[in-house]
Structures are given as structure tokens and as C-alpha cells.
A and B are shown apart, each in its own frame.
Chain A
Amino acid sequence: AQSVTQLDSHVSVSEGTPVLLRCNYSSSYSPSLFWYVQHPNKGLQLLLKYTSAATLVKGINGFEAEFKKSETSFHLTKPSAHMSDAAEYFCVVTAGAGNNRKLIWGLGTSLAVNP
């Protein structure tokens, strides 16, 4: 069975400090993994994706994530938070094929950035 766990529902950081949003997955198949961002009262936008190429993936706005198969993790990081990073972040896994193909969303992590 496939599942996604975002380990923190809320994360608060100070502007200029590093960001770490944690995501663990479970999959019987080789997964594809995504991070999406949703700013307040806005739609969702892709931050980055892993699709079995390089394990360190760079996305937009300075975010990156590393796929660690041994740890079944795909944590999202950014070296220095900006006020505009305050948003909801979702980790997503797709896995399987044919009738077993599943798309699983995490419950989201709300990131607050303090001045």
C-alpha cells in the first residue's frame, strides 16, 4: 500500500533561517514524489519533483529536496527562509501502474515565517 506522512502540521521559522519540512512515504512500487505549495487564498503550484533521476532535486524559489530510498524520505529544505515562503506545503506520491496506480497527498505542513 502507498502512503505519505508529513511529520509536522505546523512549522515556524525566523526569516533568514533554514527551512526543513519533513515527508516520509511508503510504497510497494518505485514512486514519483512531488512537493506543491499553496499560498493563502491561492491555487496550488509545483515546487519540485522526483522521478527516478537525480536524488537531489532543485525546485523554484530556492527550495530543494533529497530522495532517500533507505529512509523512505523526501524532505523539503531551503537554506534561508523569506517572508514570502509562508504558505501550505504538500508532499505527494504517485506509484503503481494500471489499476493499481495511486495518487496520495500528505495532509500538508503550514509554514510560518517570522520577521
Chain B
Amino acid sequence: DAGVIQSPRHEVTEMGQEVTLRCKPISGHDYLFWYRQTMMRGLELLIYFNNNVPIDDSGMPEDRFSAKMPNASFSTLKIQPSEPRDSAVYFCASSSGLAGYIDEQFFGPGTRLTVL
């Protein structure tokens, strides 16, 4: 398997623009996670899905952020409108699980977002 795939790897945009980050999890994994990492706030769990259903979105910072998982092989994290403080590295991870147990998470390479 190719592992967790994220695109784009780098994104530079201007304040106010819409940004869409994409993630393809490892085939067969039931869980998908979105994280944000900055020097100031460290690593933050934004949201995670189980079988395409959002389980915990308490980490989503505000209404400008939205995440979807239309099928088992694809998820998006959208920021609209973007702001400079959204600049960060965004990681996607996936994991298998049985009966609600979350196993090892496999992380993608991350998307480095810069909002000017």
C-alpha cells in the first residue's frame, strides 16, 4: 500500500481564499483523522471519522473549518475563508479498529499551508 496520501504537499494562498486539503487513507482502515500542527499550539486533533461518520469534531476551531468524508477512500478539510493564523502543517492519519478500538495511526506526509 502507498500509505496515507495527502495533497497538495504545499499550499500558498491569500487571506480570504478558500483552501481544500485532501486525504486518501490506507485501504481498509475504518478511522480517519485530521490534525493541525503549529509551533505555537503544537499538535491538535481537529476531527476524526469512523466509517465515514464524524465522531469527534470538538477540535475544529471555528465555522470556517469543515471536513467531509464522502466515501471510505477520500476526505477533505476545507477552510473558507482562510486567514493567516490558519498557516500550519495539516496531517491526515488513518487507522484500523475493531469494536470501537482505535489502533495505530498511520500518518500522511502533511500539507504545509501558508496564508498570506
Contact = CB atoms under 8 A, between A and B. Distances in A.
A34 B106 CA distance: 13
B101 A98 contact: no
Contact of A43 (B42, B55, B110): B110
B104 A43 contact: no
A69 B45 CA distance: 26
B102 interface: yes
A97 B97 CA distance: 12
A108 B91 contact: no
Contacts, number: 44
B70 interface: no
B91 A43 contact: yes
| B interface bracket (residues with beta carbon within 8 Å of A) | 20 to 34
B104 A94 contact: no
Interface residues of A, number: 20
Interface of A: 32, 34, 36, 43-46, 49, 51, 90, 94, 97-99, 101-103, 105, 107-108
Interface of B: 33, 42-45, 48, 55-56, 91, 93, 99-105, 107-110
- 8 nearest A-B residue pairs (beta carbon): A43-B107, A44-B107, A94-B102, A46-B104, A97-B100, A107-B42, A101-B100, A43-B109
